[in-house]
Chain A
Amino acid sequence: MPPIRDKFTIHSRAVVCQDVELKGDITIGPGTVVHPKATIFAIAGPIIIGSGCIIEEAAIIVNRRKEVMRVGDNNLFEIGCRVECPSVGNFNTISTRARVHHTVRISNYCVIGAACLVVPTDDETLDDYTSIFGPAAERRTWSGRGRIQEADLRLKHAEYLREMLPKFNRLRRGDGA
C-alpha cells in the first residue's frame, strides 16, 4: 500500500482545531468548523469539504475509495457519526452516532437520525429531503417546511462556533507537509 501523503488545503477562514486527526489529501472550504478530536481520513482518495460545515467531536469522515469524496456546504456532522459516502450534498444533518456506508450518496437537506445505520448492500442515492429515523432506520420524506429557519440556524451555529472555538482551543495553522 502506497504511503499516504498528507496534503491539507485549509482555507484561511476555516476553523480547524489542533487536536484533529487529518490524513491524506484534504481540502477544507471557508467557514467550516472542525471540532477537536474529529477524524478526517482520506486514505485512498482525496476529500473535499465545502463551506460552512460543522464537524463535531469524534466524527469520522473516511474515504476508502480512490474517487474524490465531495462534501457540500453547510452540513452538520454530529458527535460520533461515521460517514463514508462518496458524495454529500448541502444542508444535511448526520446525527449523533449515525453510520452511513460508502454505498450511499446523500443529496441535499437530508436528515440521518441519531444512531441510525444506513448500510444498504447496493448503491443507493438518498433523495432530497429524506429523513431517516428510529432504530430500524425507517425513512420518510420531509415536506421541507421549516428548512429556511433551519438553514438560518445552521449559519448562526457555525458563526458562533467560529467565534468561540478559537478562544478555548488551539488552532491548526498552516498546511501539513
Chain B
Amino acid sequence: MAPTIHYYCPCQSGESVQMPPPPHMASSSASFHPLHSLFFCEECDAVRCNRCVSIEVSGYYCPNCLFEVPSASVRAEKNRCARNCFSCPICRSTLQVVASDPPDGGDGRPSVSLSNVGEPPFFLYCNHCRWDSAEVGITFEKPTGLAGTPLPLPISLHLIIYLTAQLQKFEDSAPESLEFERLKEHFEPFLRTSSLSSLSHVPSTSSHHLPTSSATAAASAALARDVPGVGKYNPLTRSRVGRDRTANKDEMPEYKSRMEISILGQLGSEGDGSDVEALRRMEIAEEIASLEQRWGNSWTTSLRTSDLRPLRIPLHSKVSKRCPTCRHILIKPEQKAQSVRYKIKLVAANYLPAMTAALPHTQGADATRRPQAKVPSASDDRNAGAMTAGKSYPFHLALTNPLYDPIQVRLSVQRMHVTAVTDSTAPEKARRTPFAVSLPTSSFPVAAFAEAWEYDDDDEMFGLEDDELGLEMGRTRDKDGKGKVKTVGVLEKRANVTVVGGEVVIGKEARGHVKFNMLVSYTYRSDDPLPSEDGVGTPSRAAVAKTPEVKTFTFYTVVDLGPILPREEKVDPDI
C-alpha cells in the first residue's frame, strides 16, 4: 500500500477547535481529504471541502445524448431523459435503436443491399451484452411519413417521439406509478392548507409539496409572505365558518389504496410466495436479477431477470459550489453539457503545495523484483510494502509548488496524544510511543512553477532521476556540507519540486498504521498591494516595509506511511 497524504478541512471540528483529530482513530478520516477534492476560498483564505460547500444545481443534462434539459421538464419527465436514451437491463450500458435484419437469402450473404433507413420492426439493442428488447417484446413499427427521401440518421424524429411515448405510457400504467399518483392526490389538499397557514414557510427550503414550476413556487411564496398590519388570509377557514374551528388540521380521511396489497404481491413487487417459488425453480444463477440490475428502478420489481425492462437513462446535473461563509463561488461549470471546463475553478491544488510521500526502501525492492516473479508471494509483499516493528525507515516527501512565486515551507509534526489502552490482557503494549518521526525543522524553499518552455536555457534543471535507493546527496548542498548520505533534510530540488527526507523509528511493540498529523506552513510573496484587507483565518503578515507583502498560510495534513508488521524471528526464504 503506497503512502498517502491527505489534507485537513476544519469544517467538521466546530467553531473553536482548529486542530485536526488524532489520525489513528477511524472517525477522523472524515476530516481528511485528498488534495484533488478540495477547494480554496480566496476571500476567506481557507480550505473548503465537499462537505462544507453549498451546492446549487446549474443545469441538468442527459449523459448519453448530452441534451440540456430545462429544469421544468426535469420534474415532468421524472428525472430521466425524454429522448431516445435507454439503459440495458442486463449490463446497464446504453441501448441503440436498430432495424431488424432484412430477410435472409439463406446463404449468409445479404441478398438485397441494406437500405439506409432499415426495416421494421425496430427494437432496442445493446452493443455490449447483445441483449435486445425483442426478447421482452418491445418493438416499434416505423410510422409513415418519411416521404421517401433517405435520411442521414436511420431514425426520424417522429419515431423518437413515438418510442418514448410508447414506453412512457408503459411506465405510467404500472400499478406502482398509479398508486403513487393516487397518494399524491390524496395528500395534496392537506399539504396546501398546512403550508399556507405556517407563517415562516419558504417553499424553496423545505417544501412538502412542490409546485409544478418555479414560477408558481415564487408566486405562492409571495402570497404567503407576512404583510405587516394585515391579518393572515386563510381562504379555507373562511368557508368553514359554521364548522368546528378546533377541527385538527392533521386529521385526514382514511386512505384507501387502489388495489389490495395481496394482488400487488402476485404482480411480483413484494417478496411473497411467488418469489420463493421462482427461487425454488431456478436453474442457473442468471435467472435472478442481481442487485446492480434492480436498484435503478423507482420501486421494487420482480426478482426474475426476464422481468427486467429497459429504463430511460437518469439525468445528471451540473452543480456550482459556493463557500459557506462568504458565498463566493468556488466552482462554476460552463453551461453547455458537452464542455468539461469551468468558468470559475478555485481548487486547492492551485494554491496549496501538492505533497506525496514515498518509502525509498520499497521502491528499491520493487525494482529488483519486477523482472523475476510474476506472482508475488506473501513474503514478497511483506518485505516490499510495509515496515517492520523495531526498525527505523527513511521516507521522502515531495512538495510541488503550484504558485508562480517561490515559497518557503516549514514542516512540523504534531505531537500525538495516544491514550494508554487499559487492556487487562496486555497493558504494556506500547500505546504511548508507537513510533517517532523526525523531519527537517528549518524552513526550506521550493522554486516557483514555470512553464516548460522556460527551461530551454537551463539544462541543469532537469536531469537525473532519483536512483533506486533513493538516498542521494542533494544537488544543492545543505548546511552540513558533509559527504555522507543524510536522511533528514532537503534531499533534492528539481524544477518546482523539492524532496525532503524524514525518518520514522518504529517501536518494538507498535501496531496499526504509521499515521501522523503534520503542520505545513508556507510563506510567499503575495501580489496584493494594499495591507487593508485582513484575512479572517490564518494568514499572518510579516510586513516587509512596503510591497511586496509576504503572506503565510498554514494547513494540516495527515501522512500515512503504511502498515506496521509485527517483528518476526525468522523469515522463510521463498522459492
Q: What distance in Å separates the Cβ of A173 from its nearest Cβ neighbour in chain B?
A: 30
Contact of B98 among A142, A146, A151 (CB under 8 A): A146
B507-555 at interface with A (beta carbon < 8 Å): none
Q: When A143-B135, A145-B134 are in contact, do A133 and B98 touch as well, CB less than 8 Å?
A: no
Query: Are B99 and A149 neighbours in the complex by a CB distance under 8 Å?
Result: yes
> What separation, in Å, do the CA atoms of A133 and B286 have in the docked complex?
13
Question: Quick check: A131 and B286 within 8 Å, CB to CB?
Answer: no
CB interface residues, A 141-156, toward B, < 8 Å: 142-143, 145-149, 151-152
State in angstroms the CA–CA spacing of A111 and B114 once bound together. Answer: 23
Q: Of residues 100 to 120 in B, which have CB atoms within 8 Å of A's CB atoms?
A: 100-102, 104, 108-110, 114
A-side interface size class: 10 to 19
A167 at the interface (CB under 8 A from B): no
Question: Provided the pairs A148-B101, A148-B110 are in contact, do residues A113 and B129 lie with their beta carbons within 8 angstroms?
Answer: yes
Within 8 A of B (CB), among A92-142: 111, 113, 131, 133-134, 138, 140, 142
B130: contacting residue among A142, A148, A151, CB under 8 A:
A142
Determine if A149 and B286 form an interchain contact, defined as CB atoms under 8 angstroms apart: no
Asked whether B567 is an interface residue with its Cβ less than 8 Å from the other chain, the reply is: no
Write out the residue numbers on chain A whose beta carbons fall within 8 Å of the beta carbon of B91. 133-134
Contact A151 B129 (CB under 8 A): no
Does B90 reach chain A (CB closer than 8 Å)?
yes
Q: How far is the CB of B90 from chain A (nearest CB, A)?
A: 7
Dominant SS at the B interface?
loop
Report which of A133, A145, A146, A148 forms a contact with B129, defined as CB distance below 8 A.
A133
**Closest Cβ neighbor of B114 among chain A residues:** A152
Are A145 and B101 within 8 A (Cβ)?
yes
Cα–Cα distance between A35 and B123 once the two chains are bound (Å): 34
B560 at the A/B interface (Cβ < 8 Å)?
no
Chain A, residue nearest B133 (CB): A145
Q: Who on chain B is nearest to A156 by CB?
A: B114
Partner pick for A138 among B100, B123, B286, CB 8 A cutoff: B286
Q: When the two chains form their complex, are residues A143 and B129 in contact, meaning their CB atoms are under 8 A apart?
A: no
Given A113-B129, A145-B100, A151 and B134 contact (CB-CB distance below 8 Å): no
Indicate whether B131 reaches chain A with its CB closer than 8 angstroms: yes
Q: Is the CB–CB distance between A140 and B90 below 8 Å?
A: yes
Kindly state the separation between the CA atoms of A141 and B504 in the bound complex, as whole angstroms: 57
Q: Are B98 and A111 in contact (CB under 8 A)?
A: no
Contact assessment for A145 and B110 in the assembled complex, using a CB-CB cutoff below 8 Å: no
Residues of B within 8 A of A140 (CB): 90, 129-131, 286
Chain A residues whose C-beta falls within 8 Å of the C-beta of B123 in the assembled complex: 145
Indicate whether B125 reaches chain A with its CB closer than 8 angstroms. yes
Which residues from chain B contact A146 at a C-beta distance below 8 Å?
98, 100-101, 125, 132
B211-249 interface code vs A (CB 8 A; 1 in, 0 out): 000000000000000000000000000000000000000
In the docked arrangement, what's the CA distance between A111 and B130, Å? 8
From B100, B108, B128, B131, give the contact of A113 (CB < 8 A).
B128
Which residues in A have their C-beta under 8 angstroms from that of B128?
113, 133
A131, B93: Cα distance in complex, Å: 15
B window 416-455: CB within 8 A of A: none
Cβ-defined contact, B130 with A131, below 8 A: yes
**Chain A residues engaging chain B, CB cutoff 8 angstroms:** 111, 113, 131, 133-134, 138, 140, 142-143, 145-149, 151-152
Query: Please, could you name 5 A-B residue pairs with CB atoms under 8 Å apart, sorted by A?
Result: A113-B129, A148-B102, A148-B104, A149-B99, A151-B110
Q: What 7 A-B pairs have minimum CB-CB distances, sorted nearest first?
A: A142-B130, A148-B101, A131-B130, A133-B129, A145-B132, A133-B128, A152-B110
Known: A142-B130, A143-B135, A151-B110. 5 other contacts (CB 8 A): A111-B130, A113-B129, A138-B129, A145-B125, A146-B132
